[in-house]
């Protein structure tokens, strides 16, 4: 059946009839969408929506993450059409997933960007659909968290990252990708006691009460034990998951703006993401994929896998698994 489908399927981003089911379209051709899901602005019947946020005007170092969503979509075509490995259900057949396209914004009117992004994500949530965002730099998580907190109250933040991004900045209108979680905590969008940052390996004296599991702790204790600790911290509170690709060591994800050695391996990340299944996940993002700094495409491939795992975690939460 798969061979016959592969002979005839093409441009599934536009031609597929059903929001569910695998796609056997050749990886080397066809219109690109995330996991060959239908490109649409119609959320009717959808469970989850993948959306791109091509914004990188908050970076402190190397730019290029505005190209991340496009690269992650392309890299997702390399994933097998079979059910994602390690999960006890078939994500693509059981859940209706759409590619909602990208956020449109005026690149020359940066002050208007945060409210526009909050409204974009809010519209998805109001349709009863869980969003997964493809960044873009890490600032995007702040306006996204505002949309979630407006509907669910203060969120538990699960952050995989090399940096805490809680450096002090009381100017709430200043747009910067190193201070947005300071602002999120101070604004009441995040409950720090029920939040955890994993993979940290840069210094920041004030973590605002957020639980820290640094990279060395993951290496020494192992990913399975770390996942158990993450679940203990999060409990049954509504969770937003953000995965900065620089949480991975530069050996696995060189294409990012602020790489730091000593990071997580892709194997550690995959085990932790699978072992936290059952958390009350409401949405998530993968950010800081900067294709110009990785000619191999490995960083975008990692980003595509992370986004798929976030979708699986959303599926597990919906199933009550």
Burial 218-241 (b: 16+ CB within 10 A, else e): bbeeebeebbebbbebbeebbbbb
Q: At what angle do helices 141-152 and 113-126 cross, to 10 degrees?
A: 40
Q: Which two tokens stand for residue 166?
A: 């809680």
Q: What residues form DSSP beta bridges with 272? A: none
User: What are the φ/ψ torsions at residue 246 (nearest 5 degrees)?
Assistant: -75, 0
Tell me how far apart the alpha carbons of residues 173 and 190 are, in angstroms, rounded to a whole number.
18
With contact defined as beta carbons under 8 Å apart, do 240 and 284 qualify? yes
Point out the annotated binding site: 138, 161, 163, 165, 244, 246
DSSP 8-state assignment for residue 257: S
End-to-end C-alpha distance for the chain, whole angstroms: 30
E strand or H helix at 283: strand 281-287
Cβ neighbour number for residue 217 with a 10 Å cutoff: 16
Point out the annotated binding site for Mn(2+): 138, 161, 163, 165, 244, 246
Residue position matching structure tokens 């009550």: 320
């Amino acid at each position: 059946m798969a061979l016959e489908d592969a002979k005839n399927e093409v441009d599934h981003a536009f031609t597929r009839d059903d929001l569910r089911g695998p796609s056997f379209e050749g990886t080397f051709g066809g219109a690109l969408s995330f996991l060959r899901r239908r490109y649409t602005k119609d959320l009717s019947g959808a469970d989850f929506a993948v959306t791109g946020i091509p914004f990188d005007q908050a970076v402190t170092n190397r730019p290029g993450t505005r190209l991340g969503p496009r690269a992650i979509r392309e890299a997702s075509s390399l994933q097998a059409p079979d059910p994602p490995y390690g999960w006890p259900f078939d994500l693509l057949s059981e859940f209706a997933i759409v590619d909602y396209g990208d956020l449109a914004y005026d690149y020359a009117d940066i002050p208007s960007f945060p409210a526009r992004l909050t409204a974009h994500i809010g519209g998805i949530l109001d349709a009863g659909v869980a969003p997964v965002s493809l960044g873009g730099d890490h600032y995007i998580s702040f306006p996204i968290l505002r949309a979630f907190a407006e509907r669910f109250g203060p969120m538990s933040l699960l952050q995989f990252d090399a940096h805490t991004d809680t450096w002090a900045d009381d100017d709430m209108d200043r747009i910067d990708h190193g201070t947005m979680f300071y602002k999120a905590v101070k604004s009441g969008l995040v409950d720090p006691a029920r939040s955890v940052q994993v993979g940290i390996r840069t210094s920041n004296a004030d973590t605002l009460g957020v639980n820290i599991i640094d990279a060395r702790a993951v290496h020494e204790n192992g990913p399975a034990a770390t996942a158990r600790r993450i679940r203990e911290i999060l409990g049954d509170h509504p969770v937003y998951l953000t995965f900065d690709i620089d949480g991975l060591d530069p050996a696995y994800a060189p294409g990012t703006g602020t790489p730091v050695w000593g990071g997580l391996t892709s194997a550690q990340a995959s085990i932790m993401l699978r072992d936290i299944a059952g958390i009350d996940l409401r949405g998530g993002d993968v950010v800081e994929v900067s294709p110009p700094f990785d000619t191999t495409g490995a960083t975008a491939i990692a980003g595509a896998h992370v986004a798929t795992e976030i979708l699986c975690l959303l599926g597990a939460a919906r199933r009550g698994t």
